[in-house]
A and B are shown apart, each in its own frame.
Chain A
Amino acid sequence: MLELFLSQILNGVVIGFVYALIALGFSLVFGVANIINFAQGALLMLGAFLTFTMVRLGAPIAVAIPIAIVITTATGMLIERLALRPLQNAPYIAPLLSTLAIAIIFDAAAEMIWSAEIQAFPSPLSKYVVFVGSAYLTGVDFLIIAVSLGVMAGLMLFLSRSWMGKALRATAQDPEAATQMGINVPLMRQFSFGLAGALGALAGVLIGMYYMSVFPQMGIPYGLKGFAAALLGGLSSIPGAIVGGILLGIFESLASGYVGEGWRDVIAFSVLLAVLIVRPHGLFGNKSLDALGGASGATGGIPTTSVVASMAGATGRTKQRVLEAPLLVLLAVIALFALLPVLSGSNYLLQVGTQAAIYAVLAVSLTLLTGSAGVISIGHAAFFGVGAYAAALAGRNWGIPAEAAFLLAGIAAAVFAAVLYWPTIRLSGHTVGLATLAIGQIVYLVCLNWVDVTRGPMGIPGVQRPSLLLGIDMKSLTAQYWQALVVLAIAVIIAFAMLNSPIGRTWRAIREDRLAAHASGVPVSRYLVLVFLVSGFLAGLAGAQFAFLQNFVSPESFMIDTSIVLISMIVLGGLGNITGALIGGVLLAMLPEVLREFAEYRMVAYGAILLLLLRFRPQGLAGTR
């Protein structure tokens, strides 16, 4: 018993040093550029895979690692230059989503280059073993500790002694004063991204050696863990990062030892959430996390918490141009689409059409939450998933007829959304994105690991479609298509009624300036819970429709990829705009079908679309509202 405990603690400490390295990269960028860099994990993955490739091509690992670090450093600096610097005066959601887009592009590109499989990573030192009682440490463990301590000591010296280091710190403290002292602040920001890239690459290599494997999707989980460690440590000091990393390592090691390996990440992300909510300044921190984020905060003149204010790109005009179709027009278009089965008997078209309708419902659901109420939701797939599982389980385990399962799915997702997102009410700026991403990951991992209920990765087959509705046999694909359109029409009607009511106006006021909303007497929490409920309900309906269409539910449909596709959809259409959400939802849902031969590039395409939109048309196709 004690042996297990001891060995888990040892494991935790070792991996904790790696987390500390990632955490330092985060802290550096957060301090200097005031942004939560979601691409940090992608750089980590890149460093690991570059090393992996060079070794496979025959390079000695000791040569491969430095080269990988140099390339990753350059990549980090390039990301800053291409994806962030142009967005300096954009609202704070833009740089955040920009790093997210980069992360997803890297992730998807890596899957294409190296396949989605786990790859064996060279780890020559792991054969040396030292026993500590019945626990043991390998050569890799010693390497990790030595390298991490060495790097941190070096970084500390660099920051306190060298001119560059001092300039970095000055920029972090007060960019304006730094500019006046002749420090090239944009260069410092770029430099911090480079440093973060180097730290990330190093961490990636060490993780590869530690687990003797690497996989293309490792960026997001390790990025999140690095951030959890940074947050635990208070985001500002190197010793803080070490302590935060080690604490996190120990937590999750104990969790994997006593609860099961599958729960390791659930615990890590829960720690992240808990710290965000309970102690956003970290255990020892003094650095405030409530910065709006973005290189220069929100906008110049007007104080605002808006995610869309300058996305409208309409300064100077008295009213920006927005394309918003009246409700009846939208319903008429949906009715036109209902004619499709009459015109063509193609099952393929019906399948695609149903998918598109489901995505359109999800986009409408997300645009209420993120577009109108300004709550950046990077975990929206969670509520889609809750709806799908609720519908599947209702029929299979509880014998509830599929017709009622629809309603149940909506309600379950609404309740989950309200409960899970409740803690985000207290958060501000980028941290909302971080928290919702973590929540999305937790829900996905729970679906994956709670095998008793969800059957884990095997999924739930044989989901029964509703049988009979108004005398129509609902089992056919045609009927499913119509059913999806009805769900879409309901979603549009609800969203329309909400947005054009005082409730919708209040959501937008909260988005635009939360403090002013409070001061105007708006009970902000109440209206945020309302938007969680409505948005969750619609996502749940979409989930149920998805389960019925596929006759099957499994966790992989509700991964972060889905959440990011949804964000791309609503940014493409124009945030907070229902017409836009429908356009964006349908267009991006059709994209992989239209470009069939490029279907495997779809995540890269989604990421690229998001990135380009943020840069060149942040108001989207139809305009933000």
Chain B
Amino acid sequence: MSTSITRARPEALIIDKVTRRFGGVVAANALDFTVPQGEFLAVVGPNGAGKSTLLQMISGVIRPQEGEIRLGGRRIDRLHTEAINALGISRTFQTSRVFPMLTIRESIMVGTQVGLIGGGRTPRRYGPVTELISALLRLPGYRARVAAAEARAEEVMKMFGDRLWPRQNDQAFSLSYANRRRLEIARALVQDPDILLLDEPAAGMNPSETDELTDIIAELRRIRPGMTIVMVEHKLQVVRQLAERCIVMAQGTVIVDDTPAGALEDPRVIEAYLGTRRSAAAFGKVNADG
């Protein structure tokens, strides 16, 4: 039983009885909930609860074995990762996946490529051959679009204060752990997604860095209230400050679906965290952080 707090907003994302097993492990067990447009949903739960698996399935990195995922009424769980992204779902990875040899600026520009050539949310502008010719001859239309993308990338870099902007020509492999996370978030944000999926964005950040990130996301909420955000996060302080709704997962199922305050005080949540020795350690981490 879960207490849903959906308001009168159109549903952006529908998770419809989605199941995914890995061998004997059921990482997602008939997950069933909806995310209204513009909602900030936090997903918490002990290690191995299936949180990342959920994001992997929404973004098409992993396919569900049963059930459907729908985006604005359209079924997306059979689509390719890049097609799902083109429809307006951007994500970060738990193990930050940056492009090691690319600079910060280049990495963020990669996020603008799909918008540049079009497709998905936007009309297709450049086919392979037209893009080849445009790039080769540096045709003005193409160059103008690239320049616009550069401007957007700069804007996004500046959102992160002096973390990314002064280092824009540094290669990603040289970045600190926290900066790699920021870079990934920036690469997602430059796409101006309708739905943003964040997998533990604050992991590996110290308390002041965590606060800084929280402020950035809060600011993002202010300027883009329509953007739906699904955030997996172990740091409950971040969840309390940012999320409107909190889903607690354990062993592939949703055990609590409530406001962050309600969810985090629910006895079932404490129990889920203390259920296994490994999880107990996680809960210790949660307490220490939160």
Q: A residues bordering B, Cβ < 8 Å?
A: 299, 302-304, 306, 308-309, 312, 314-320, 494, 497-498, 501-503, 505-506, 508-509, 511-513, 515-524, 526, 529-530, 533-534, 624-625
A–B pairs, 20, beta carbons within 8 Å: A302-B97, A304-B99, A308-B101, A309-B101, A494-B136, A497-B136, A498-B136, A501-B135, A502-B135, A502-B146, A505-B106, A506-B110, A508-B101, A509-B110, A511-B101, A512-B100, A519-B91, A521-B82, A522-B82, A530-B128
Beta-carbon contact of A319 and B101 below 8 Å:
no
Q: Check: B170 CB closer than 8 A to any chain A CB.
A: yes
Residues of A within 8 A of B102 (CB): 505, 508-509, 512
**Residues 97-125 of chain B, each 1 if its beta carbon lies under 8 Å from chain A, else 0:** 11111110011011101111101100000
In the complex, the chain B residue whose C-beta lies closest to that of A515 is B97
B79 to chain A minimum Cβ distance, whole angstroms, is 11
Of A309, A503, A519, the residue contacting B100 (CB under 8 A) is: A309
Q: How far is the CA of A534 from the CA of B98 in the complex (A)?
A: 26
Interface of chain B, helix or strand or loop or mixed? helix
Tally of A-B residue pairs with Cβ under 8 A? 143
Query: How far is B102's CA from A139's CA once the two chains are assembled, in angstroms?
Result: 61
Question: CA A41 – CA B194 in complex, angstroms?
Answer: 54
Q: Determine the chain A residues whose CB is within 8 A of the CB of B59 once the complex forms.
A: 519
Interface residue from A317, A509, A526 paired with B107 (Cβ < 8 Å): A509
Smallest CB separation, A601 vs chain B (Å): 35
Given contacts A318-B167, A320-B171, A506-B110, contact A520 B95 (CB under 8 A): no
Q: Does B33 contact A (CB under 8 A)?
A: no
What is the interface of chain B, defined by CB distance below 8 A to chain A? 59, 61, 80-82, 85-86, 90-91, 93, 95-103, 106-107, 109-111, 113-117, 119-120, 128, 131-132, 135-136, 138, 146, 167, 169-174, 180, 187-188, 191
| Complex: chain A residue closest to B82, CB-CB | A518
**By the criterion CB–CB under 8 Å, are B119 and A523 in contact?**
yes
Residues of A within 8 A of B138 (CB): 497, 501
Residues of B within 8 A of A506 (CB): 110, 113
Closest chain B CB from A518 CB (angstroms): 4
In the complex, are the beta carbons of B95 and A303 less than 8 A apart? yes
Contact status of A521 and B114, CB under 8 A, knowing A320-B171, A501-B135, A516-B93: yes
- Distance between Cα atoms of A559 and B116 in the complex (Å): 41
Known contacts A505-B110, A520-B113: does B135 contact A512 (CB below 8 Å)? Answer: no
Q: Which of A316, A503, A624 contacts B131 (CB 8 A)?
A: A503
Q: Which residue of B lies closest to A575 (CB)?
A: B101
Across the interface, name the chain A residue whose C-beta is closest to B174: A318
In contact, B135 and A509 (Cβ under 8 angstroms): no
Known: A508-B99, A513-B97, A519-B81. A316 touches B174 (CB 8 A): yes
- State the CA gap A367–B111 with chains docked (Å): 24
Is the CB–CB distance between B113 and A502 below 8 Å?
A: yes
> Smallest CB–CB gap between B17 and chain A, Å?
25
**B99 near A512 (CB under 8 angstroms)?**
yes
Contacts of A513 in B (CB 8 A): 97-100
> Which of B101, B109, B113, B167 is the one whose CB lies under 8 Å from A521?
B113
- Which residue of B91, B101, B136 contacts A512 across the interface (Cβ within 8 Å)? B101
Check if B82 sits within 8 Å of A523, measured CB to CB: yes
Chain B residues in 8 Å Cβ range of A530: 128, 131-132
Least CB separation from A505: chain B residue: B106
**Residue on A with the closest CB to B86?**
A521
Q: A303 is contacted by which of B82, B86, B97, B135 (Cβ under 8 Å)?
A: B97
Q: What residues on A are CB-neighbors of B117 within 8 Å?
A: 523
Q: How far is the CA of A625 from the CA of B187 in the complex (A)?
A: 21
In the complex, A498 Cα to B137 Cα: how many Å? Answer: 10
User: Are B91 and A309 touching (Cβ within 8 A)?
Assistant: no
* C-alpha gap A220/B59 in the complex (Å): 42
**B100 engages A502 (CB within 8 Å):** no
Give chain B nearest CB distance to A457 CB in angstroms: 37
Bound complex: CA of A515 vs CA of B171, how far in Å? 19
**Complex CA distance for A202 and B136, rounded to whole angstroms:** 54
Contacts of A624 in B (CB 8 A): 101
CB distance from B92 to the nearest CB of A (A): 9
Query: Would A304 and B100 count as touching, CB distance under 8 A?
Result: yes
Which of chain B's residues have a CB closer than 8 A to the CB of A494? Answer: 136
In the complex formed, the residue of A with least CB distance to B106 is: A505
Q: Report how far A356 CA is from B85 CA in the complex, Å.
A: 45
Whether B113 pairs with A522 at a CB distance below 8 angstroms is yes
Q: Are B111 and A521 in contact (CB under 8 A)?
A: yes
Q: What residues of chain B lie closer than 8 Å to A505, measured between beta carbons?
A: 102, 106, 109-110, 113
Closest Cβ of chain B to A513, distance in Å, is: 5
Which A residues lie within 8 Å of B174 (CB)?
314-319
User: Which residues does chain B contribute within 8 Å of A501, judged by CB atoms?
Assistant: 135-136, 138
Let me know if A497 and B119 touch, CB within 8 A.
no
Q: Given A319-B170, A502-B109, does the pair A515, B136 have CB atoms closer than 8 Å? A: no
B120 to A, closest residue via Cβ: A521
Closest to B92 in A: A519
Question: In the complex, how many angstroms separate the beta carbon of B136 from the nearest chain A beta carbon?
Answer: 5
Of A302, A516, A520, A529, chain B has the most CB atoms within 10 Å of the CB of A520
Nearest residue in A to B87 (C-beta to C-beta)?
A: A521
**Inter-subunit contact A516/B98 (CB<8 Å):** yes
Q: Is the CB of A498 within 8 A of B135?
A: yes
18 extra A-B contacts, CB within 8 A, seeds A304-B99, A314-B171, A520-B111: A299-B100, A304-B97, A312-B173, A318-B174, A319-B103, A319-B174, A503-B135, A505-B110, A512-B99, A512-B100, A516-B97, A518-B61, A518-B80, A519-B81, A520-B191, A523-B114, A524-B82, A526-B128
B65 nearest CB across to chain A (Å):
18
| Interchain residue pairs A-B with the least CB separation, the first 4 | A521-B114, A521-B85, A512-B99, A501-B135
In the complex, are the beta carbons of B114 and A520 less than 8 A apart?
A: yes
| Central interface residue in B86, B97, B117, B120, by most chain A CB within 10 Å | B97
Q: Are B136 and A516 in contact (CB under 8 A)?
A: no
B171 contacts A522, C-beta separation under 8 Å: no
Given contacts A505-B106, A521-B111, A522-B110, contact A315 B173 (CB under 8 A): yes
